Amino acid sequence: MKEIILVLLNEFADWEGAFIVSCLDQGVKPGNSVGHAVKILSQAKDTVISIGGLRVLPDYDLKELPEDLRVWY
């Protein structure tokens, strides 16, 4: 299973990533069995808070970047 890392900063727009994260986790298309592990990265391991008040605890911080990380932008 591939790991997708979503970068979040304080005051992120919580509605923007919700659809894509659920699609990646569930296999892009409903019923598709190929899912991805979605992980969260932020500047620190502290709770990140969205504009709407959603609180997210990151899986990684900048000091813990996976060694095999490939960055696409």
Q: Is residue 69 part of a domain?
A: no
What total number of domains does the chain contain?
1
Q: Which domain holds residue 11?
A: 3-63
State which amino acid sits at residue 18: A
Q: Is residue 42 part of a domain?
A: yes
Q: Is residue 70 part of a domain?
A: no
Predicted TM-score (pTM) of the model is 0.76
Give the pLDDT confidence of 27-61 residue by residue, as tens digits.
666 666 666 788 899 999 999 999 999 999 999 99
Q: Is residue 73 part of a domain?
A: no
Instruction: Give residue 33's pLDDT.
Output: 67
Q: Where are the alpha helices (DSSP H) in 10-71?
A: 14-26
Give the pLDDT confidence of 4-32 residue by residue, as tens digits.
888 999 999 988 888 888 777 776 666 66
Q: Is residue 68 part of a domain?
A: no
Q: 3-class SS at 12?
A: coil
Q: Is residue 72 part of a domain?
A: no
Instruction: Give residue 59's pLDDT.
Output: 94
Q: Is residue 41 part of a domain?
A: yes
Cα–Cα distance, 45 to 22 (Å, whole number): 22
